Amino acid sequence: MTLDAGASPVAGVVLGPGVAVARDRLRFQFSSSSGPGGQNVNKRATKCQLRVHLIDLKMREDQLRRFIDLAAGHLTDDGEVVISSDVFRSQERNKSETVLRLRELVLRSLKAPKVRRATKPTYGSRQRRLETKKRRGDVKRQRAGGED
């Protein structure tokens, strides 16, 4: 996956339907990685850290609330989303991976949760419950024997 996948030159990086961020609002920082790379890991800055402000994610309020809940571990106190990757040996692939992870978070926050419909207990479950209560009552009744 390349960084340009799903992006248009006008809008910047498209993160989902109706959600795009200008390229200059995405800040990338690179540092030495602890991931794969052998001796190369000490010489190259392949770990990528993506930073973007919540304000720059143009989303509806309900979607933004869901995004904040989903990305709670990636948020800073000043409203910045921080996503890092050191999975790959290449700086470019780690950069693409951070954008992909941000895109996945945005897509998950765009979906409204399913509304739970209240259901009644089934006939069988009610019968099993009553049978269990009856058995438990019998056990207690047997314990309450005569006194010595």
Parallel/antiparallel/unpaired status of strands 27-31 and 47-53: antiparallel
| 5-11 contacts at long range (C-beta below 8 A, 24 or more positions apart) | 5/96, 6/103
Number of H helices, E strands in the chain: 3, 6
- Using one digit for the tens of pLDDT, what is the confidence trace for 57-104? 888 888 889 888 888 888 888 889 899 888 888 888 998 999 999 999
* Alpha carbon of residue 50 to chain centroid: 16
Rounded to whole angstroms, the Cα distance separating 26 from 4 reads 13
User: Are the C-beta atoms of residues 7 and 13 closer than 8 Å to each other?
Assistant: yes
Q: What is the CATH number of domain 7-110?
A: 3.30.160.20
Rounded to whole angstroms, the Cα distance separating 30 from 70 reads 25
Question: pLDDT band for position 148 (50/70/90)?
Answer: low
Q: What is the pLDDT of residue 127?
A: 97
Task: Give domain limits for the chain.
Answer: 7-110
Q: What contacts 52, CB < 8 A, 6 or more positions away?
A: 21, 25, 26, 27, 80, 81, 102
Question: pLDDT band for position 133 (50/70/90)?
Answer: very high
**Residue carrying the six token digits 């720059």:** 56
The crossing angle, in degrees rounded to 10, of helices 61-70 and 91-110 is 130
